[in-house]
Structure 1
Amino acid sequence: MITPTKLDGGSLTQLAAASDKLAYAQTHIFSRIVAFLQAARQHLHGLLDDFLGLFPQTKQLVTAFETAVASSDGVKTYAYLLILIIAGASIEWLYRSYAFGALRALEAAVPNSPLQALSFGLRLFAIKLFALLLFAIVVVALSISFAWPPGVQDAVLTLTLWLFLVRLASLILQIVTAPNAPRLRLLPMSDLRVRWLDAMTVITAGTLSAGWLLSDLIDRNAADAAHVAGSVRFIAATSVTVLLLAVIGLWVRMTRARARIRGIARPQMPVPFFVTAIIIATYALWLIGADTMAGTVAVLALMLAAERLLRQVVGRLWPAVAVPAPPPEPHHEQEPEEVVSFLAVLPGVVLRIGRLVIAMSALAACALIWNLPVMEMPASDSLLGKATVRLLGVIALFLAADAVIAAVRAAIDSRISAVGPVGHEGNPGPNARLLTLLPLARKALVIVVSAIFLLSILSVLGIDIAPLLAGASVVGIAIGFGAQTLVRDVISGIFYLLEDVFRVGEYIEGGAGTRGTVERITLRSVALRHHNGPLHYVPYGVLGAVRNNSRDWVIEKFNIPLPLDTDSEMVRKLIKAVGEELLQDEEFGPYIIEPLKGRLYRVEPGLKLFRCKFMSLPGKQFEVRAAAYRYLEQALIAAGVHYANPMPQLMTVDPNTLTAR
């Protein structure tokens, strides 16, 4: 049974207010939709009016152009244009003649790797870009010195900018395709596909830039020809859309034919479908007057395409990070491993930096499309301006922090890989300190960069971080008092590391009775692997005094019991000879620092003790001692000397013999 609930006057008032807000929101959204549809309808009518008024206004422009050409100013204009073209082309031809040798050498070069091919391609791009800049600078500089009729200089500068943009697009594409030097191509493409792609790029860039620049030129200099400017924009946008759709259709046909030949199953949702949808959506948004939305969609699509191209180029430059290293040379053993390790981590860094550049370029393009006063937005009082600036700041900080963290990790991982692992019984060597400190430095740097990133985000969002820092210090003091053991462990570990008490791979003994090989070091504890296998985690605070058995060198001593009638000097020389022989051994000689020596240590009932000692690398004394025992045994047997028997001997004596004496 449902019991009805009675509402008091306050509840009814709140309910009525909420209902009014909901109705206002619905009305506001509906009005915005209606306004958008009306604006789209007006824009479509405007395009229709542009087509209806195209021919009369075009006729007027042609008549005015013919009149201007037939006048004396028209003759001067032709002469000036001819001078500009000849001067710009001559300067570019002179420069290309000077750089002809370098261009031919780079195009004929045979790169040893894709990375070197990229280096050659960038040099070619720099040489050709400088020639293009020379042409543009000479034309612009000379155009300023002439007295042009009204509007003609604007047209000349517009034409120069159009030529510059079209040629620049072609040059940028040639970095990847290299039409004149197939060996420098960063992507596997045939000559036919390269020429076809270059032609499509030039046509697309030329059509778009021509429609944009020509319509703006008409708007600035022929106010009575607005229909012509609108028609030019429509023709350019429609032509580019049709061209791109035709290219995609041809691409789909070629892909299907190649898949049938190779017997490869096509994906369920191919990439051309999404590309076609984006092109149609962009064109539809532009048709209904949503220019900013269309531009934003186009920029985002270009950003995704650039990121995909970046991944393909990076994969081409570093095709296999697991390629076996070349055989090491005796005089620099670590160089090949370090190079391979660096190449293994470099692609990630390049990808992140490239993505940062692409994202920042896309944000700048969107700011231009939306006509945002970027320089004035930080001082703006509008909520949208402040939110936009803060959002851009957060995105830029995130991308920058990601790139910095990736670079730090890559550099440290590369150095760790170059040092190489340390075995349980091997000598850690001087590089073991790097294996000890670099992982801690990597963690510390990542934590520091992340903390700075978070504080910077809070500052960008307008949050005052000074109280947070003060509060963090108070909280830190409280935690320090409450976790004294933890603080003691961390501080003790810092001093252990600063004083270089032990390193990864060294065998140590702690004051707490623990011993073993250092396998891992953290900010609070050290992991020790006992020689029997168990792994001990020892906090620094209880580690106490440390005995390091793997630092620099060790002296090993052992005794040899020999009979009392053994010649001591002969034994001393024999031990010395064994030490020299052991020093020449290929397996154990490199471990010995000072050779084996011996002397008479003391005389006991029934035997002589000879003390032997040698100096070796830490951790290798046991192997050298075992080898010394084998060599000494063989030498003593050859000399007719046997080990003394320390056990007491019982002798039986005849009583008659004692009586006779």
Structure 2
Amino acid sequence: MMTNEEMWIGLGWVFIKIILISIAAYIVVIVARLVVRKTFSVRIRGPLKYNERRQQTLSKLLENVVAYVVYFVAIIAVLSAINIDITGLIAGAGVLGLAIGFGAQNLVRDIITGFFIIFEDQFSVGDYVRIGLAEGTVEEIGLRTTKVKAWTGELFIFPNGNVTDVVNFSIHNSIAVVDVNISYESDIAKVENLIVEFLETLQDRYEQIIKPAELLGVQNLTTTEVVMRITAETLPMQHFAIARSMRRDLKEYLDKRGVEIPYPRMVMMQRSPEASNSAAIAKK
């Protein structure tokens, strides 16, 4: 066998076929992914407005499906190259797949739920969501799992069948809420007029603000301060940044106009000796 030239030539051709099939499959996957990305990018930039979130999700899904199909065909071609009966193998795989399908009900549930998540547009890649105790940006929606990345860097991976309660923060506009603390010594009417003047300038400075910001009025009365509430409707998930900017700008605006922001104070009183003696005599 070691000196059988025909056997070694045959093995060499089989090895070359396997390498060529693997290279061809890899190239086809790369080209197919580029075509899918290019197609969806052209649709997004076209005159017809499409939902960009949905386009990105479908693009990722199609890339995964194409990769699975191409690699499956490549495996069949490799088996055919080494003279394995594919017909019997496919028939046996069908029976085996049916048996596995009955046992792998969770896997089937994950795949079906994944399709419903995508086509019902419950959430898409790039959305900021809360799933159970996890909260973050959707990184990927696959056939079986969903990946959510928290803003602190953790990556949560959920089987699609376990995604039951979802809060999507990226579909509708957000509301920025800012509470302003005013001292009791301040003129409330004057402060309200100043805040309204400040709010009228916000929409020109921040394009993320959709509607003019509103002063709702006095929100709370504490033992040390008056709390006034401001709201502003923003683009989805822009309310955190807008609220921070509003607090900074409003602080500077009120400081320039002499409105004092309350802060904790400590008043110390010292009684004189004469007052102590007078108090003692009065007690007697």
Per the TM superposition, whether the score is higher than 0.5 is: yes
Partner of 2:35: 411
1:436 pairs with one of 49, 52, 57? 57
1:532 has 2:152 as partner: yes
Is the Cα–Cα contact under 8 Å of residues 178 and 247 in structure 2 kept in the other structure? Answer: no
Q: Which amino acid aligns with 2:246?
A: A
Aligned partner letter, 1:603: L
Q: Distance in 1 between matches of 2:236 and 2:270?
A: 54
- CA change 1:407–1:654 in 2 (3 A) is closer
* In structure 2, C-alpha distance between the alignment counterparts of 1:574 and 1:597, rounded to whole Å: 13
1:554 equivalenced with 2:178 (yes/no) = no
- The number of aligned residues is 238
Q: Secondary structure at the match of 1:527?
A: strand
- Indicate yes or no: 2:208 matched with 1:591: yes
User: What's the CA shift string for 1:37-93, capped at 9, x where partnerless?
Assistant: xxxxxxxxxxxxxxxxxxxxxxxxxxxxxxxxxxxxxxxxxxxxxxxxxxxxxxxxx
Q: Which amino acid aligns with 1:578?
A: F
Matched, 1:564 2:179: no
**Secondary structure of the corresponding residue to residue 612 of structure 1:** strand
- Percent identity over the alignment? 28
Instruction: Work out the CA distance in 2 between the residues paired with 1:625 and 1:505.
Output: 22
Q: Compute the displacement of 1:541 (Å).
A: 2.7
1:639 matched to which residue of 2?
257
Aligned match of 1:629 in 247, 252, 274? 247
Residue 491 of structure 1 aligns with which residue? Answer: 112
Residue of structure 1 equivalent to 2:128: 507
Q: Distance in 2 between matches of 1:609 and 1:403?
A: 63
Q: How does 1:62-461 map to 2 (within 5 A)?
A: 409-418=33-42, 430-445=51-66, 447=68
Contact 1:557–1:612 (Cα < 8 Å) also in 2 = yes
What is residue 137 of structure 2 aligned with on the other side?
Answer: 517
Higher RCO (CA 8 Å, separation ≥ 6 residues): 2
Residue deviations 1:254-298 (CA, integer Å, cap 9, x gap): xxxxxxxxxxxxxxxxxxxxxxxxxxxxxxxxxxxxxxxxxxxxx
**Residues 556, 469 of structure 1: CA spacing in aligned structure 2 closer, same or farther, 3 A cutoff?**
farther
C-alpha offsets along residues 568-593 of structure 1, whole Å, 9 cap, x if unaligned? 333233222222212111xxx21111
Structure with the higher strand share, 1 or 2 = 2
Task: Mark the CA change 1:653 to 1:607 in structure 2 (over 3 Å): closer, same or farther.
Answer: farther
Task: Tell me if structure 1 keeps the 8 A contact 2:136–2:151.
Answer: yes
The amino acid across from 1:644 in the alignment is P
Write the letter of the residue equivalent to 1:483. Answer: A
Indicate how the Cα distance of structure 1 residues 642 and 451 shifts in structure 2: closer, same or farther if over 3 A, else same: same
* Contact kept in structure 2, 1:419 and 1:431, CA below 8 Å: no
> Hey, what's the Cα distance between the residues in 2 that align with 1:652 and 1:568?
30
Shift of 1:471: 6.5
1:605 Cα shift? 1.9
Distance 2:139 2:27 in 1: 30
d(CA) in 2 for partners of 1:494, 1:633: 49
Structure 2: tracts of 5 or more residues without a match: 1-24, 45-49, 280-284
Structure 1 distance, partners of 2:227, 2:27, is 68
Amino acid at match of 1:484: Q
- Cα offsets for 1:462-501 (capped at 9, x unmatched): x9979956961x4333212322332232222222212212
Deviation track 1:419-450 (CA, whole Å, cap 9, x = no partner) reads: 89xxxxxxxx9312211111212332565578
CA spacing shift, 1:542–1:405, aligned 2, 3 Å = closer
Residue equivalent to 1:620: 238
> How far, CA to CA, are the matches of 1:406 and 1:439 in structure 2?
13
1:508·1:515 contact (CA, 8 Å) conserved in 2? yes
**Shift in Å at residue 505 of structure 1?**
1.6
Check 1:413–1:639 CA distance in 2 against 1; reply closer, same or farther (3 A cut).
same
Taking structure 1 as reference, are residues 533 and 442 closer, same or farther at Cα in structure 2, changes over 3 Å only? closer
Q: Aligned letter for 1:547? A: V
Query: 3-state DSSP class of the match of 1:436?
Result: helix
| Structure 1 residue 563: Cα displacement | 0.9
Q: Provide closer, same or farther for how the CA distance between residues 568 and 476 of structure 1 changes in structure 2, counting only shifts above 3 A.
A: farther
Residues 480 and 575 of structure 1: CA distance in aligned 2, closer, same or farther (over 3 Å): farther
Work out whether residues 114 and 141 of structure 2, in 8 Å CA contact, stay in contact via their aligned partners in 1. no
1:652 aligns with 2:269: yes
Query: What is the match of residue 229 of structure 2?
Result: 611
Q: TM-score, normalised by structure 1?
A: 0.32
Partner SS, residue 438 of structure 1: helix
CA–CA separation in structure 1 for the residues paired with 2:129 and 2:150:
10
- Counterpart code for 1:415: T
What one-letter code is carried by the residue in structure 1 that aligns with 2:171? R
Is contact 2:176-2:242 (8 Å) kept?
no
SS in 2 for 1:531: coil
Shift of the 629–480 alpha-carbon distance from structure 1 to 2, 3 Å rule, reads: same
| Aligned-residue CA RMSD (Å) | 3.8
- Kept in 1, the 8 Å contact 2:198–2:250? The answer is yes
Check the 8 A contact 1:416/1:438 in 2, yes or no. Answer: yes
For 1:403 and 1:604, the matched residues in 2 are separated by 68
Specify which structure has the higher proportion of helix. Answer: 1
Q: Which position in structure 2 is the counterpart of 1:332?
A: none
Q: Note if contact 1:601-1:610 (Cα within 8 Å) is conserved in structure 2.
A: yes
Partner secondary structure for residue 478 of structure 1: helix
Task: Give, in whole Å, the separation in 2 of the partners of 1:432 and 1:532.
Answer: 22
Separation in 1, partners of 2:91, 2:143 = 23
**What one-letter code is carried by the residue in structure 1 that aligns with 2:225?**
L
